[in-house]
Structure 1
Amino acid sequence: MHKVRDIMSTDIAHLSPDDNVFEAAVIMRNENVGMVPVCQDGHLKGIITDRDIVTRGIAEKKPNSCQINTIMSDHLVYGTPDMSVDDAAQKMAEAQIRRLPIVDQDQLVGIVSLGDLAVRSPYQNEASEALNEISETHNNHVSNNL
C-alpha cells in the first residue's frame, strides 16, 4: 500500500495569520497556486484560497492590507504522511477539496494535490474518482442555485 509521504509535495510556500491579503495574492501568483497554508510556528492554523480572497475579502470590501486571519478558512481538513493514498483521495473527495495539507506531529510537512495523484500512474484511478466526486457535487450545487 502506497503512503501519502511517497507523493506529497514538501516545498510549500506558507503564510502567517498576521500576513496580509496582498501578500497571499502575490504568493499565489508567484507559485501558480490557488491555496496557501497559514501556519504559526509550523502549526497549521488554516488555509487561504483565491476564493477566500474574492468572497470574504473583495466582495466584503476589505482592504488588501487586512490580515489573512480575518478571511482564511479555519475549518481544517488534513491528512498524515502515513495514511494511504486511497484514504487521502477519499478524504479529498468527501471534503470536496483539490489540495490536502499533510500534518505530522502538529507540523505542516506537505501537501497532496489531485495533480500529485494524477501524474503517478498507480494513483490515476484514485485521482479520477476524487475529481469526479468533486465535480459532480460542484455541478449539482451550481445547478441547484440557478
Structure 2
Amino acid sequence: MTDQTARDLMNPGAECIQAHETLDRASQMMRDMGVGALPVCTDDRVSGIITDRDIVIKCVAAGHDPAKVRAGDLATGLVWVAADATVEEALARMEEHQIKRLPVMHDNRIVGMITEADLARRLPDDQLAEFVHRVYARS
C-alpha cells in the first residue's frame, strides 16, 4: 500500500453545500447523492463539514427548524488531507481526530472524500481491522 495515496482511496467529486444554505437543503442533497456528509463551502473555500447526524442531533433534536438553520452554523472544524498524502497519513488523520469521513484537498480545493465504505473497499482486511479498532475502541 505504500505507493497508494489519499486520491487512490477517495470517492472523487465531493459536492459542497454553501454555508448560507439551510439544513433542509443539506438533507435533500445528502438524500439525492446517497451520502451522509457534505463539505460546507463559502464561495469556493471549504470551511467545515456537516453530517446527517449533526442535522439530527444539533438541530432537530434540539428543537430547531432545519428550514431556518444554515449549514455554516453547524459546520464543524475542517480536518482534511492532501490528495498526495499516503494512505497511512490519511488513516492516521482519521484516527487522531476520531472521524469517519475525511475531505481530500488539492490546490486548496476539495477533490474528494474518504469514507468508511471507501476504506472497506480498498484496504486489506488487516489494515481495515486495525483502523476500525483504533477509531471505535477509543472512548
- Normalised to the residue count of structure 2, the TM-score between the two structures is 0.88
Instruction: Determine the structure 2 residue equivalent to 1:144.
Output: none
Percent identity over paired residues: 30
Does the Cα contact within 8 Å between 2:14 and 2:110 map onto a contact in 1?
no
Measured at CA, do residues 124 and 89 of structure 1 come closer, stay the same or move farther in structure 2, by a change above 3 Å? Answer: farther
List gaps (5 residues or longer) in structure 2.
none
Q: Which of residues 18, 30, 33 in structure 1 aligns to 2:32?
A: 30
Output one character per residue of 1:89-118: Cα deviation in whole Å (capped at 9) or x when no partner: 111112111111011222111111122222
Distance 1:9 1:47 in 2: 16
Instruction: Determine the structure 1 residue equivalent to 2:74.
Output: 71
Distance 2:65 2:90 in 1: 36
Does the Cα contact within 8 Å between 1:14 and 1:36 map onto a contact in 2?
yes
Q: Which of residues 56, 59, 62 in structure 2 aligns to 1:60?
A: 62
**One-letter identity of the residue aligned with 1:69:** G
- Normalised to the residue count of structure 1, the TM-score between the two structures is 0.84
List gaps (5 residues or longer) in structure 1.
141-146
Output one character per residue of 1:12-69: Cα deviation in whole Å (capped at 9) or x when no partner: 2320000100011111222222111111232111111112112221122221222111
The root-mean-square deviation of aligned C-alpha atoms, in Å, is 1.6
Residue correspondences, number: 136
Higher strand share: 2
